[in-house]
């Protein structure tokens, strides 16, 4: 059995699941679905659940887990399912990969029932890959269902987006979800709230296996260093590049600037962080902070464009720039 397979929607997916049920019951299942939501909202799990339900011989609200189809699905060997999430670890969504998926949809039927392709990270499709897919989206092949997922809806090519039915996943920390997360990840209420704040509302990203406590404390150290702007504290931060990639550290930095320039909600869930936030930006830096935001954003763009750079040196330069922005004003 596939241990990752979830046979029912997550708590925060239930409304969306009910809406999906209405589509199924009124025979309005589309040929293409686009599931979007932040990382940790269970997009792939929902895609698999929809696929399992569509393939199940029992045609109930939830897959029966007993029919031949469900058993094949659970074993990861259903001949009517083409799941690109496995291929994605080793390959990009190249034109060849997309063509193979389309060929799968056109190949001979083994069973009755639909053929399903799961295509995650739809935002990474190149123009050529998207073109290969467009024809299938425009002229669906028989009984087929394409389920695309993305954490970056804005980056999915409009030609793709406009041809898919959209499902948006979002979560709110209700008392029920709070209890669920405490049980699921063996965390206290305050730990859940702290991690919820950290993950910006992505329920599965609060998992201590995914985000260890050390990551939270490193994020806090960065904030403390930036807030106090003491040379010793800033210099101590250089070692962060040994543990995290530069892109992540720059995003953390930008988040700290947002936190320190407020207004921010939900910080009281994390007392140590709240204390740093209350300190605010050093006075001299307040007027100069946008210079820093520019530098950080330029670096992100360069990293996204694929520029190779020495992370340790770049990060050191940023720390130095932060220090200087503060010092210069102090001296004047």
Q: Is 171 exposed, middle or buried (0-12, 13-18, 19+ CB in 10 A)?
A: buried
In the complex, minimum distance from the CB of residue 11 to Zn ion, in angstroms, rounded to a whole number: 23
**Omega of the bond prior to 143 within 30 degrees of 0, cis?**
no
Q: Which two tokens stand for residue 295?
A: 């530098």
In the complex, minimum distance from the CB of residue 45 to Zn ion, in angstroms, rounded to a whole number: 17
Listed residue (222, 176, 181) closest to 199, CA to CA: 181
Listed residue (151, 117, 2) closest to 65, CA to CA: 2
In the complex, minimum distance from the CB of residue 26 to Zn ion, in angstroms, rounded to a whole number: 21
Nearer to Zn ion, 70 or 171 (CB): 70
Listed residue (258, 250, 266, 245) closest to 317, CA to CA: 250
- Helices vs strands, H then E, count in the chain: 16, 5
In the complex, minimum distance from the CB of residue 51 to Zn ion, in angstroms, rounded to a whole number: 12
Nearer to Zn ion, 113 or 140 (CB): 113
Which residues pair with residue 117 across a beta bridge?
A: 82, 146
Binding stretches for Zn ion (CB under 5 A): 56, 58, 63-64, 67, 70
Nearer to Zn ion, 57 or 316 (CB): 57
Nearer to Zn ion, 72 or 141 (CB): 72
In the complex, minimum distance from the CB of residue 27 to Zn ion, in angstroms, rounded to a whole number: 19
Nearer to Zn ion, 67 or 87 (CB): 67
- In angstroms, the CA 142 to CA 308 distance is 46
Order of strands across the sheet with 81-83? 81-83, 115-119, 144-150, 32-36, 165-168
- In angstroms, the CA 116 to CA 125 distance is 18
In 3-state terms, what secondary structure has residue 105?
A: helix
In the complex, minimum distance from the CB of residue 70 to Zn ion, in angstroms, rounded to a whole number: 3
Nearer to Zn ion, 20 or 252 (CB): 20
In the complex, minimum distance from the CB of residue 147 to Zn ion, in angstroms, rounded to a whole number: 18
- In angstroms, the CA 33 to CA 118 distance is 10
Nearer to Zn ion, 24 or 67 (CB): 67
């Amino acid at each position: 059995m596939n241990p990752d397979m979830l046979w029912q929607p997550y708590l925060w997916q239930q409304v969306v699941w009910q809406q999906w049920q209405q589509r199924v019951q009124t025979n309005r299942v589309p040929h293409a679905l686009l599931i979007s939501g932040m990382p940790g909202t269970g997009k792939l799990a929902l895609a698999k659940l929809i696929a399992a339900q569509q393939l199940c011989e029992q045609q109930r609200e939830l897959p029966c887990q007993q029919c031949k189809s469900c058993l094949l699905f659970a074993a990861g060997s259903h001949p009517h399912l083409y799941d690109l999430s496995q291929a994605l670890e080793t390959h990009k969504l190249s034109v060849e990969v997309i063509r193979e998926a389309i060929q799968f949809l056109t190949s001979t039927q083994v069973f009755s029932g639909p053929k399903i392709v799961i295509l995650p990270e739809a935002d990474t499709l190149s123009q050529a890959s998207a073109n290969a897919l467009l024809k299938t989206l425009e002229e669906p092949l028989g009984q087929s269902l394409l389920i695309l997922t993305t954490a970056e809806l804005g980056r999915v090519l409009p030609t793709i987006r406009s041809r898919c039915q959209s499902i948006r996943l979002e979560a709110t920390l209700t008392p029920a979800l709070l209890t669920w997360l405490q049980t699921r990840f063996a965390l206290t209420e305050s730990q859940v709230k702290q991690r919820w704040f950290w993950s910006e509302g992505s329920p599965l990203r609060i998992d201590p296996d995914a985000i260890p406590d050390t990551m939270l404390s490193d994020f806090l150290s960065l904030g403390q260093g930036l807030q106090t702007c003491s040379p010793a504290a800033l210099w101590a931060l250089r070692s962060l590049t040994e543990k995290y990639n530069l892109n992540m550290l720059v995003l953390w930095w930008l988040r700290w600037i947002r936190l320190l320039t407020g207004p921010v909600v939900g910080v009281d869930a994390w007392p140590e962080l709240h204390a740093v936030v209350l300190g605010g930006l050093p006075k001299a830096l307040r007027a100069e902070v946008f210079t820093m935001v520019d530098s950080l954003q330029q670096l992100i763009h360069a990293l996204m464009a694929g520029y190779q750079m020495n992370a340790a040196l770049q990060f050191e330069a940023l720390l130095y720039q932060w220090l200087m922005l503060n010092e210069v004003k102090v001296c004047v």
